Amino acid sequence: MKNTTNKIVVAMSGGVDSSVAAALLKEEGHDVIGITMQIWPRGGGHDRCCSLSAVEDARRVANKLDIPYYVMNFQEIFKQTVIDNFISEYNDGKTPNPCVRCNQYVKFDALLKKVKALGADHIATGHYAKVERSNGRYLLKKGIDAKKDQSYFLYSLSQEALSRTIFPVGNLTKEEVRKLAKKFKLNVADKEESQEICFVEGSIGDLFRLKKGNVIDISGKVIGTHKGYQLYTIGQRRGLGIAREKPSYVAKIDPKKNEITVGDRGDVCGDELTAGDLNWVSVQKDPSPMNVIAKIRYNTPGSEAEILPLSKEKIKVTFRVPQFAVTPGQSVVFYDGDIVVGGGIIESGNR
């Protein structure tokens, strides 16, 4: 990107990271266009990604930077690929990650098509990650800020998407990003981050038709009543509403029986999982058996594991150390050092 001028669309969420990304690209002399995706169908005023207040924050940043700014409607594609999938997966007793699907189908697919239509060269976001080209292939790498690295959420990006993507803050820490926001005099310099699911306003239970059912222990004994199985996830400890001598964790969710099984912590640990819906980033085809560092959710450290292909569509992952709460619906992402090898959706885990 150095010493060249490019037309770059920046996906502006109204937060400090994407705002600084736009400012850095403008400072480098690129032709920058800011776009916020309108994905929230009910349009509330809550301060979340792409909400009305976030749009206003992004607009003020764009005005400060003197760059063109647009709000584009992506409600339908977001509903079809993210919200509907979220509801369907929870109804199947799984726990999906909506940010992974939003990146795959909305930001780096639907929005990328708009970028091409605008005649832009690249899309940029405020993700803490890096893209590099090596041996004719685009590599996705961790951002240098280990606490903020977001490569986990981006493993599903295609080579085409990576070839057109820039992560301007990938080589910065969060502290450095905030300092830059103050340097550029951006109104979002001290804005806090939202930890909520952007399309859930109120309780997640409002998305489902909840029905009470039995809570059983590992032996099959009924020990309580749940409020609706969609409100629970594997490994959950709090809010179970049951009394046991030992700490209890959700070990199994059975939608057909409308039943939740709880057990001890050891009952929620396993050393294997199967995964599908695979995407390989650093390799051109499904890998032979290989050793990797695997992460089964964003906020947990990686663990040594071996990938074993079962078919073109599925793999088995065996961990050296048993993992807590292997959760169907979540993503498992593989690393070789700071390089993302690939990843997929967890289908099952042994316990």
**Could you tell me if residue 108 is inside a domain?**
yes
Q: What is the DSSP string of 294-307?
A: EESSTTS--EEEEE
Q: Which of 49, 99, 102, 269 is catalytic?
A: 102
Together in a domain, 144 and 67: yes
259 occurs within a structural domain: yes
Structural domain that includes position 272 = 268-349
Same domain, 96 and 142: yes
Q: Are residues 120 and 20 in the same domain?
A: yes
Residues 273 and 249 in one domain: no
Same domain as 272, residue 257? no
Rounded distance between C-alpha atoms, residue 212 and residue 237, angstroms: 18
Which residue is it, tokens 């770059």?
A: 8
Q: Are 118 and 98 in contact (CB under 8 A)?
A: no
Q: Note whether residue 250 is domain-resident.
A: yes
pLDDT in the model for residue 182: 97
Residue 51 — pLDDT band, cuts 50, 70, 90?
low
The active-site residue out of 49, 50, 99, 198 is 198
User: How is 123-161 classified by DSSP, letter by letter?
Assistant: EE---SEEEEEETTEEEEEE-S-TTT--GGGGTT--HHH
Element holding 215 (H helix, E strand): strand 213-217
Q: pTM for this structure?
A: 0.92
- pLDDT tens, residue by residue, 158-201: 999 999 999 999 999 999 999 999 999 999 998 887 766 777 77
- Same domain (yes/no): 171, 30: yes
Total Cβ atoms within 10 A of residue 52: 17
Q: Long-range contacts made by residues 317-323, C-beta under 8 angstroms, separation at least 24?
A: 317/272, 317/273, 317/274, 317/275, 318/271, 318/272, 319/271, 319/272, 319/294, 320/271, 321/271, 322/269, 322/270, 322/271, 323/269, 323/270, 323/271, 323/273, 323/296, 323/349
| Overall number of domains in the chain | 3
Rounded Cα–Cα distance for residues 171 and 168 (Å):
7
Same domain, 244 and 278: no
pLDDT tier at 50 (50, 70, 90 boundaries)? low
Residue 268 has pLDDT above 50, yes or no: yes
- Confirm whether 198 is a catalytic residue: yes
- Quick check: is 102 catalytic? yes
Whether 193 maps to a domain, the answer reads no
